[in-house]
């Protein structure tokens, strides 16, 4: 199955007065009712008002997800459909995924004795059956569009081309943090919509991966330095012993007895 | 009878008992109602004091173990032999508390064994978990010699002596990896961690700072063992350790500032921001204060001067690690500051650590008995110190 994604057009969103995406998301994922401002274990998607516009936040389903890369037990994984999913059965609750995520997406059940990481999973089971995500199905305008990642990129580019005066010249998500599966079109700069400023184009997981590849070098160098030092130390001791012995023998030869034995 | 009560009411045992009791109550609440019920952690500040103190700093302060073991048995610096067991014990405590801390800190601690069966080789934390497992085992084996000696198990002692050098070499390599991996954990967040702390060479910075911290911990502990265990480590030995500390601090200071300068982050240190005072507190405690004390001849050769220099380095290390975990995320974590419960748990861990070390030292031959502090005159001591510095 080809990688899927979402295209979110901030200019077409009706905001909380519609709010259908939020409601169906909660129903799809069995989450408690209620409107929240921030992503949490209660809300996998939220509508935030920024500069008169409504921006919908949800998991970006990165092409090279930091959360998937850093999870020590592989509780998070990226499916063929592009959906980044979570397996609570493996999770040990270290929350490294939350700290690592450049978009502050994964949330935690802070007041549960057996807490889970909670986040949007791009309706992974639905889309594998060939369905559309719940939010995209519910959206009455073209604010949320579900489709093949490549198709969405083409659509976004053509919207920008046709309405150059309305949109920012580039979409968000093509290169940010190594590329995402959720794209945004906006009328205002993306920083104003609350997106992080210092995102790199290099996928963040590459950074620790380059370092981890140095591990064999460090091990070999360590073995060489420590082994060499030990050899030198032993050699020095041997030489010192021999020298002492020679001195002692000389002493023996000169005075005949009297000198103490060297061990 | 009265004397007994007097003994009980000595301040330290009482304070320890109260703090540990509170910590147990807090831990119970945490296991029933979740981490949110006792901490100020939140979705935007998922790691806090416990990670910064028990996990990051505990590991760094344990570095004395592999430094001393390899100095004595691999590099042949035999003069440090009297303190090698103590530093291995400290390292073991550091790692014990890393694991114990995780059992409180992890959301689902009952799954901690999953890192043995579910592998993700791309995760620095996965490798760190394995380093901790391997190195803790090495530390137990290294320390087992003390137990063999105590009970006079000659054959086991012989076996130990045959494998000790390879064991120490493996331990030193794994510990080096482990210390560097702690820094590697944070390399994945270039867009989140503040430029004063984020660096592509974080693993190198974490490793070089742990050397300083490990050496400082040795000096700090010998001051404590003088106060509480009535055992005095010879001053010239401590001066030698402090010489290593000065060099390690110098290397770390150069790396730290060269890194800031090359990344163009140095101006941030002089900008009025929320992060700036935390940065300077770290720099003062980690570099400036210890350097003043270690460069001045009078303070670097006095037990008191060495004690304060090492104490400052220990707190500087703590500040650096806490800055990486909390201050460095100030732009995203909405002003996290630890709850009092978090402080109580962390303090209790430190206190239990000291009590355990004290108990082990009392019952096992950790501190060499044949080396009572030689009665030396002040001039002789000064001569020792001069010689130690000139080597």
Give me the number of domains chain B comprises.
1
pLDDT value at residue B269: 93
Q: Do A115 and B108 touch (CB under 8 A)?
A: yes
User: Is residue B171 a contact partner of residue B147, using CB atoms and an 8 Å limit?
Assistant: no
Whether A215 has a pLDDT exceeding 80, the answer reads yes
Q: A70, A109, A201: best mutation site toward chain B, by most B Cβ within 10 Å?
A: A70
Residue of A nearest to B129 (CA): A72
Q: Is it the case that residue A57 has pLDDT exceeding 80? A: yes
Q: Which of A39, A74, A100 is nearest residue B189 as measured by Cβ atoms?
A: A100
Cβ contact, residue pair A99, B111, below 8 Å: no
**What is the separation of C-alpha B80 from the centre of its chain, rounded to a whole number of angstroms?**
19
Categorize the per-residue pLDDT at A198 as very low, low, confident or very high, splitting at 50, 70 and 90: confident
Residue B301 CB partners (closer than 8 Å, separation 6+): B235, B239, B382, B385
- Residues A145 and A7: beta-carbon distance below 8 Å: yes
Q: Do A99 and B126 touch (CB under 8 A)?
A: no
The pLDDT tens digits of the residues spanning B376-389 come to 555 555 555 555 55
pLDDT digits (tens, 9 = 90+) for A220-240: 999 999 999 999 999 999 999
Residue B2: inside a domain: no
Nearest CA distance, B303 vs chain A (angstrom): 31
CB contact under 8 A, B126 and A72: yes
What is the band of A197 on the pLDDT scale with cuts at 50, 70, 90?
confident
In a domain, B25, yes or no: no
- Please judge whether A92 and B191 are an interchain contact, meaning their C-beta atoms are less than 8 angstroms apart: no
pLDDT of the residue at A250: 79
Q: Considering only CB atoms, which chain B residues are within 8 Å of A180? A: none
The answer to whether residue B225 sits within a structural domain is: yes
Contacts of B203 in chain A (CB under 8 A): 211
**Residue A259: predicted pLDDT:** 44
Chosen for mutation from A42, A201, A211 (greatest number of chain B CBs closer than 10 Å) is A211
pLDDT at B362: 84
Share of chain A above pLDDT 70, in %: 95
Return averaged pLDDT per consecutive 10 residues of chain B, 391 residues in all.
54 89 96 96 94 89 93 91 91 91 95 94 96 94 90 89 92 96 95 94 96 95 82 88 94 96 94 93 95 91 92 96 93 85 94 89 79 51 57 46
Cα B269 to Cα A216: distance, rounded to the nearest angstrom: 36
Phi and psi for A118 in degrees, rounded to 5? -125, 135
Are A104 and B44 an interchain contact pair (Cβ–Cβ within 8 Å)? yes
**Taking the domains of chain A in order of start, what are their residue ranges?**
4-203, 214-263
Q: How far is the C-alpha of B57 from the C-alpha of B61, rounded, in Å?
A: 6
Average pLDDT over residues A76-93: 96
Q: Does A212 touch chain B (CB under 8 A)?
A: yes
Q: What is the pLDDT of residue B332?
A: 81
- Per DSSP, the three-state class of B379 is helix
Q: Which CATH number fits domain A4-203: 3.30.70.20, 3.40.50.1820, 3.40.50.720, 3.30.300.30?
A: 3.30.70.20
Arithmetic mean of pLDDT over chain A? 93
State the pLDDT at residue B388: 57
Judged against a pLDDT cut of 50, whether residue A258 lies above it is answered with no
Who wins on pLDDT, A68 or B2? A68
pLDDT for the residue A261? 47
- Of A181-190, A239-248, B233-242, which has the strongest mean pLDDT? A181-190
Identify which of A91, A111, A208 has the shortest CB distance to residue B187. Answer: A208
DSSP 8-state assignment for residue A54: E
Cα of A179 vs its chain's centroid, Å: 12
Buried b (16+ CB within 10 A) or exposed e, B228-260: ebebebbbbbbbbbbbbbbebbeebbebbeebb
Contacts of residue B173, defined as CB under 8 A and 6 or more positions apart, other chains included, come to A218, A219, A222, A223, A226
B13-60 pLDDT, tens digit each:
889 999 999 999 999 999 999 999 999 999 999 999 999 988 899 899
pLDDT at B1: 46
Domain of B330 in residue numbering reads as 43-369+378-390
Rounded Cα–Cα distance for residues A50 and B12 (Å):
55
A73-102 residues touching B, CB cutoff 8 A: 73-75, 90-96, 98-100, 102
| Beta carbon pairs, A and B, within 8 Å | 179
Could you tell me which chain A residue has the CA closest to the CA of B78?
A: A233
What is the CA angle B127-B183-A178, rounded to 5? 80
A38 interface with B at CB cutoff 8 Å: yes
Beta strands in chain A, from DSSP E residues, in sequence order: 4-9, 46-50, 53-57, 76-78, 84-86, 107-108, 117-118, 144-148, 182-185
Q: Is A29 a residue whose pLDDT tops 60?
A: yes
CB contact at 8 A, A248 and A262:
yes
Query: B31 to chain A, minimum CA–CA distance in Å?
Result: 6
What's the pLDDT score for residue B391? 46
Measured between CA atoms, the residue of chain B closest to residue A219 is: B173
The answer to whether residue A207 neighbours chain B at the CB level (below 8 Å) is yes
A161 touches chain B (CB under 8 A): no
Interface confidence (ipTM) of the complex: 0.90
**Contact between A135 and A145 (Cβ < 8 Å):** no
pLDDT at residue A262 in the model: 44
Give a yes or no: residue B26 inside a domain: no
Judged by a CB distance cut-off of 8 A, whether residue A198 touches chain B is yes
Q: Given a cut of 90, is residue A195 above it in pLDDT? A: yes
């Amino acid at each position: 199955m080809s990688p899927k994604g979402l295209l979110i057009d901030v200019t077409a969103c009706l905001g909380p007065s519609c709010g259908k995406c939020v409601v169906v998301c909660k129903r799809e994922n069995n989450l408690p009712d209620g409107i929240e401002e921030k992503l949490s274990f209660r809300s996998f998607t939220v509508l935030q008002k920024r500069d008169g516009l409504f921006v919908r936040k949800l998991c970006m389903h990165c092409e090279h997800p930091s959360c998937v890369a850093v999870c020590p037990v592989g509780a998070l994984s990226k499916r063929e459909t592009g959906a980044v999913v979570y397996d609570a059965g493996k999770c040990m609750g270290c929350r490294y995924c939350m700290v690592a995520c450049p978009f502050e997406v994964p949330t935690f059940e802070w007041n549960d004795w057996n807490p889970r990481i909670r986040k949007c999973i791009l309706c992974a089971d639905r889309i594998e059956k060939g369905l559309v995500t719940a939010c995209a199905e519910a959206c009455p305008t073209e604010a949320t569009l579900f489709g093949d990642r490549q198709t969405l990129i083409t659509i976004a580019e053509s919207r920008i081309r046709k309405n150059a005066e309305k949109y920012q010249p580039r979409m968000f998500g093509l290169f940010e943090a190594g590329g995402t599966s959720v794209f945004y079109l906006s009328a205002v700069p993306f920083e104003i919509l609350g997106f992080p400023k210092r995102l790199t184009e290099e996928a963040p997981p590459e950074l620790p991966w380059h370092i981890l590849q140095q591990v064999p070098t460090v091990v070999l160098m360590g073995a060489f330095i420590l082994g060499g030092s030990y050899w030198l130390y032993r050699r020095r001791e041997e030489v010192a012993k021999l020298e002492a012995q020679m001195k002692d023998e000389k002493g023996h030869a000169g005075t005949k007895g009297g000198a103490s034995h060297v061990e | 009878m009265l004397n007994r009560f007097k003994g009980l009411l000595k301040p330290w045992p009482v304070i320890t008992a109260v703090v540990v009791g509170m910590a147990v109550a807090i831990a119970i609440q945490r296991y029933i109602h979740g981490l949110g019920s006792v901490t100020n952690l939140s979705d935007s500040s998922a790691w806090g004091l416990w990670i910064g103190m028990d996990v990051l700093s505990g590991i760094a302060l344990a570095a004395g173990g592999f430094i001393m073991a390899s100095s004595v048995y691999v590099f042949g610096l035999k003069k440090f032999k009297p303190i090698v067991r103590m530093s291995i014990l400290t390292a073991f405590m550091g790692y014990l508390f890393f694991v114990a801390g995780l059992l409180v800190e992890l959301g689902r601690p009952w799954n901690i064994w999953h890192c043995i069966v579910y592998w993700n080789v791309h995760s620095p934390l996965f490798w760190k978990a394995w380093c901790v497992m391997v190195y803790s085992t090495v530390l137990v084996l290294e320390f087992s010699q003390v137990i063999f000696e105590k009970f006079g198990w000659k054959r086991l002692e012989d076996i130990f002596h045959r494998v000790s050098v390879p064991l120490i070499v493996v331990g030193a390599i794994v510990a080096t990896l482990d210390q560097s991996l702690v820094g590697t954990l944070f390399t994945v967040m270039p867009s989140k961690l503040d430029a004063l702390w984020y660096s592509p060479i974080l693993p190198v910075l974490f490793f070089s700072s742990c050397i300083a911290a490990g050496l400082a911990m040795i000096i700090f502990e010998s001051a404590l063992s003088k106060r509480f265990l009535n055992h005095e480590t010879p001053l010239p030995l401590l001066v030698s350790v402090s010489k290593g500390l000065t060099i390690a601090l110098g290397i770390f200071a150069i790396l730290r500032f060269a890194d800031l300068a090359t990344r163009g982050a140095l101006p941030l240190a002089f900008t009025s921001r929320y992060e700036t005072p935390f940065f300077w507190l770290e720099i003062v405690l980690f570099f400036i204060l210890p350097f003043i004390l270690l460069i001045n001849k009078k303070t670097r050769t006095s037990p008191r001067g060495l004690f304060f220099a090492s104490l400052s380095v220990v707190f500087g290390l703590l500040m650096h690690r806490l800055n990486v975990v909390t201050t460095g995320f100030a732009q995203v974590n909405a002003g996290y500051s630890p709850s009092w419960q978090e402080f109580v748990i962390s303090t209790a861990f430190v206190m239990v650590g000291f009590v355990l070390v004290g108990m082990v030292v009392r019952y096992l031959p950790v501190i060499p008995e044949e080396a009572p502090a030689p009665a030396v005159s002040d001039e002789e001591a000064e001569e020792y110190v001069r010689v130690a510095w000139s080597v």
